[in-house]
Each structure stands twice: as C-alpha cells, then as structure tokens.
Structure 1
C-alpha cells in the first residue's frame, strides 16, 4: 500500500459511546461521516449524542466546513464503508466477530483504505489474521473516553501492519487534534489502561481494607498526584521532583523507599463482598448526584484543562532574563 490520498470520508462501524464520540470528533473536523450499527434505534441515539457533544466541540474550535449535516447512517456495514478513506471500527470485543468483519472489509475495500480498531482488549495481530489480502493496512487506534474530548489515542500495529499505515494514521489523528502515542509492542490493555488498572488495584485495596473511604481515596488522587498528572506525566514530574539534579537525583534519593513500597502494594480479590464494600462507599460519595450530573462536571473541568493546556503550549516562548 502506498498512498497520500487525503482522508475526507470516514466510516464508523459501531455507534456506542466510543463510536458516537469518534463520529462527533470527525464531524467537528469537517469530515464526512457514514455510520453503521445494527442496534435498535442506533441512528437517533447517535444523532442525539452528536448534538449534545457539539457545544463542547464548538468551544474547542470547529474546523472549516464542520457540520452535523455531514453525518449519514445505514444499517448495512458494507454500504457504510463504500467510498470511505478510513474505517474506524468499534465493534464487540470478540475475536471471532472481528476476524470475520475484517475479512469482509478486506475484500470490499481498496488497498489504500486504512482500517482502524478501537479495541482495548484484543491485539491487532489476532484481528488482522482474518484479512487475506491487505492486513498491512490494519491498525489499532484506541481512544481514551470520551474520545471527542480526550486527546489521547494509542496506535498499535500488528505483526503485519506496515510502517506506512502507522505513519498515515498518526498524521490523521494528529490532524484531528489528538495526541498519538505509538506502542512498539503489543500488550493486553495497551498502555493507558494498564496504568489505570495498576492504580485502580491499589485504590480498591485501600478502600477494601478500610484504610480510606472511596471519597477520601478520590480526594487523595484528584487533589494530589492526579492534579499534577493533568499537567505533566509521571516521569517528567519525577525529573522536577529531583530538584536541580533532575531525574538522576530523584532516583538517588527515592529508589530505596519507592521499591520498598512496591513490595507491600495490595493484591485485592474482587470477591462479591469486596465489590459490595466498594460499591457502597462509592454511592456514599456520589450522594444524590446523577450520572449525567457527574459527567457534566467532569466534562466542564476537562474542557477548562484542555483549553488551559492549549494556551500554555501555544504561547510564545518567554525569556527568563530580567528586564532592565
């Protein structure tokens, strides 16, 4: 496959939360979107989602030509992908389903059409084994929820994915305002979900053991390290934590205590009893707030942080020299 063809038309397969969010993002970037899903009432649900997401996307900045009217829907997957320049697949996490689907897409699509998957649990090597002709154009493009707001996308090739495909899809997602991360090895859960799972394991342990309530665990995270993680990643913060000596001094000072903590981290078993304790503690934290209210609160703060980071990253460099 060799192509510099611009991507103007995207097919979305599966319009649940992730697929609908991708659709909203692509529309906001001025693309044509054809979506497909066999679920009952999928089309009106998708259009409601896009309409609800539009004010946030407008606030972040719509591309020229961005319009909800560029969204069309069909229940026929092969009709949806006809004429598409890229396919974003968001189907069930079942390898038998995906292998069959990718075989059908591989037969139906020209070789220069990229097929990306939002799969978080399956490897592309498994998925693309269903393609008999052009497995090299298949790649994982895993977003972080909700994709229309969260910039992260993890790009993972399979054993047969070409470097050209990796580069094309990286350029595409970057043009959509995403922050791509390239994984050089396939791992279950990829990167962000593994990081999240490692932290969640310790949170579950601390609450289950009665060390803290769910509310206090969430406060410790969101007003402690989580507040910093919204600005810089863990390793860069380690570099700052080392003071003038940077990351080198950080390891000199903290390797001993840090590795000692690793040895006593929790290994909770999510038994029904532990789950009930966690659930009860979370509901106590939530109180009378609805899921929609919590989501709106989350999204408003995410928008503010994204806007702030964009202003800082796009600001002209300033000199540290004192003005005479």
Structure 2
C-alpha cells in the first residue's frame, strides 16, 4: 500500500474536484465510476481546472498523468492508503458502495465519504471495519476551497480521526473536526438558513435574485470572507466587543425578522428563481462563469491567508 495513492469512487462534480486537488498535491489517483464516458469527462474537467491549480501552487511531482481509471471498485481501492467516496446522495447506494470498499480495502485505509447529509454512524452500519469510515464533506469547487468537515460515527475513535485530519492537512485543506453528529453537518446548515430566507424574500417580491446576491457580495460576504459572523459581530460591539453587542442588539433576536422554515417551492417561485438567475447571468456560459469564479477564489484565498494567517484549523 502506498501512502501516496488515493482512490476516488464516484467522479461527478465533487469526485472530479477531489481528483484535481489530489493530483495537484502530487498524489497518484485511482478512480472508479461505472458511468459511460466517466473517464473522458474527468480528464476534461481536470484539464480545464489545471490553470487555477497552478496559480494556487503545485506540489512537487504534480501531474495529470498520475490519474488511472479502473473497471472495478476492488481494483481502485486495494492499494490505496486513503479512499474518497462520492457516489449519489442516497443512503442505499452509499451503503452498498461502502460495503464493497470496506471488503476490498486494506484494513488500515481510511474511507472518507463526501456526503452532505448522511451521518457517519449510519454509513458505518454493517461494515467489517466500521471505525475507519468517516464523513469528509468538502465544498465546491473542492480543488480550490480548503474547508472539509470531518465527522466520526459511534465506531470512530480519536486515532482514526487524527489520521484523517493529518491527511487532509497534507493536501492543503482546513479540516474542521465536528464533535457531534448532526444532519447536514455545520456549513451546509448555515448556508441553508440563508438560502431559505433568500427564497422568502424573492417569493414575497421584496427583491430579485440579483439583488439578493448583491446584498451578500457587497455587504455580509466581504466581511465573512475574512472573519465570519461571530468576529464580525464582535467588532460591531465597539471596544467591549461581543459583550456590548449582545447587550445592545440581543433583544432584537426576538423580533420575527426571519422565516426559518422554507417557503413552498411553487411553480411560480421556481420560475422567479430560474428567470432571475438566467437574466443575471445573461449570455455568459456556465463554463466561463466557473472560470471567473475560480480566478476570483484563488486571489481571495491569498488575501484571506494574508489577513488571517493564525487560523486554528
């Protein structure tokens, strides 16, 4: 088994994102996906995002030629030191695939699932080596964004989680170890809360989709990229920080400003959101928007590191 060999099972958007990151970090990648044309799609995606990865900085030995596609899960995982599973977000499919991975992988290999909503304990059920299966939830685009949420299950011990954390740190990620299992994990819960409120604002004809985006881009988003919501509010309290902020603005939390529950996704709301996004994007193809996003994120990450170099994760 080689510590420099990783297996990627499932090569959709997230799986291909992992492959790009792994290759850029100088690892050998063995991939498996039964879908017709999967290899061609993956190699095209990696080629498209390689310039962004070069701007981020490549590890010694990084090469697109270190990617190998195989025809079975057994071939993919048997020599891998680490395995990243990215199959569709259905519990039955994931558990079936994880059973196969667990059967053929070396006992010491860690298996990270990219699931965004299924809990680790559920994924561990019925496996021969359940403790080595953890949630390792990344964010799109995986090849640029460094956050990965790590969540263990009932069978996970601290040693396995430390091994996983060290691996993700070695590929220039910011692993956030979540102490308690919850559905949806952490970052997705925060994004979903904002998404639900945004849908209400559009549904009630208060703003358009473009105006919601502008409110985040030119307001909260600029601050959150540096400090996040808690330190942003800490500064809002003046010299006394969060203590004064909670005393001054805490009572406003009782006001029913937010809806909390999502609005009913009616056909009318769907069309408002779809039409709004298509109008906002104009004639710019998705691929071009992705390139612009990637270029922006690479520059932004450099800025974040310059102003927040002492992050504890």
CA contact (8 A) 1:205 1:266 kept: no
Partner secondary structure for residue 121 of structure 1: coil
Alignment of 1:307-318 (within 5 A): 307-314=302-309
Match of 1:21 in 2: 17
**Which region of structure 1 is more displaced relative to structure 2, 168-177 or 286-295?**
286-295
Match of 1:62 in 2: 58
Taking the aligned partners of 1:288 and 1:56, their CA distance within structure 2 comes to 23
Alignment of 1:128-167 (within 5 A): 128-131=124-127, 133-167=128-162
Alignment of 1:242-321 (within 5 A): 242-262=237-257, 267-314=262-309
Match of 2:123 in 1: 127
CA contact (8 A) 2:78 2:106 kept: no
Kindly name which structure, 1 or 2, has the bigger radius of gyration based on alpha carbons: 1
Taking the aligned partners of 1:41 and 1:121, their CA distance within structure 2 comes to 28
Select 2:43's aligned residue among 41, 44, 47: 47
Shift of the alpha carbon at 1:262?
4.5
Match of 1:221 in 2: 216
CA contact (8 A) 1:13 1:88 kept: yes
Give unpaired runs (5+ residues) of structure 1: 316-324
Select 1:199's aligned residue among 191, 194, 200: 194
Taking the aligned partners of 2:242 and 2:3, their CA distance within structure 1 comes to 41
User: RMSD across aligned C-alpha pairs, in angstroms?
Assistant: 1.7
CA contact (8 A) 2:6 2:27 kept: yes
CA contact (8 A) 1:89 1:116 kept: yes
Shift of the alpha carbon at 1:87?
0.5
Q: In the TM superposition, what whole-angstrom CA distance separates every residue of 1:282-306 from its partner, at most 9, and x where no partner exists?
A: 2222222221222122111111101
Taking the aligned partners of 1:95 and 1:220, their CA distance within structure 2 comes to 36
CA contact (8 A) 1:102 1:130 kept: no
Taking the aligned partners of 1:287 and 1:224, their CA distance within structure 2 comes to 23
CA contact (8 A) 1:7 1:172 kept: no
Taking the aligned partners of 1:273 and 1:248, their CA distance within structure 2 comes to 44
Taking the aligned partners of 1:263 and 1:70, their CA distance within structure 2 comes to 49
Aligned length: 310
Q: Does 1:104 align with 2:108?
A: no
Match of 1:168 in 2: 163
Select 1:234's aligned residue among 229, 243, 249: 229
Shift of the alpha carbon at 1:314?
4.9
CA contact (8 A) 2:25 2:171 kept: yes
Give unpaired runs (5+ residues) of structure 2: none
Partner secondary structure for residue 224 of structure 1: helix
